[in-house]
Amino acid sequence: MQTQSLEAIIAELRSDNWLEAGVAIKKVLAYGKGAVSALPALFELTLHDKAPLVSDSCAIIKRLGKHGVPFLRDQAVHAGEELRAMAIGLLAETGCRWATTRYAPHSVSQSV
């Protein structure tokens, strides 16, 4: 049951308080496919220094499967080096492995 707006949850994901962000990650689950709009905030957390935020945000992104592929493909091309690598890794784990065939060689050749 959704008791809080997704916009409010996204604001919590961007909180400086990592505990608040961690609770917000779990709230995103209630939105299912609708959580796609939270992808930018979730994706930022994949490089956080707190391991629970990294693992939980990655788990939600993977769970979105094909619904997260367009966002991750865009990040695989346009994000910085660390985020680009994370996007490619997540694409490979979304259950849509075909999504990486076009972008992996392109991204790898840019970082060499």
**82, part of any domain:** yes
- pLDDT tier, 3 (very low <50, low <70, confident <90, very high otherwise): confident
pLDDT for residue 83: 92
Average confidence score pLDDT of the chain: 85
The predicted model gives 85-93 an average pLDDT of 89
- Percent of the chain having pLDDT more than 70? 82
**1, part of any domain:** no
pLDDT for residue 109: 43
Q: Quick one: which of 68, 62, 77, 67 has its CA closest to 110?
A: 77
From residue 97, alpha-carbon distances to 9, 58, 88, 103, 109 in Å are 29, 16, 10, 11, 19
Q: pTM, whole model, 2 decimals?
A: 0.80
**96, part of any domain:** yes
Domain range for 82: 6-111
The predicted model gives 76-85 an average pLDDT of 90
**27, part of any domain:** yes
The predicted model gives 61-66 an average pLDDT of 90
DSSP secondary-structure letter at 16? Answer: S
Q: Are 81 and 54 in contact (CB under 8 A)?
A: no
pLDDT at 21 over 70: yes
Query: Which tens digit of pLDDT belongs to each residue from 24-59?
Result: 999 998 898 889 999 999 999 999 999 999 999 999
Domain count, the chain: 1
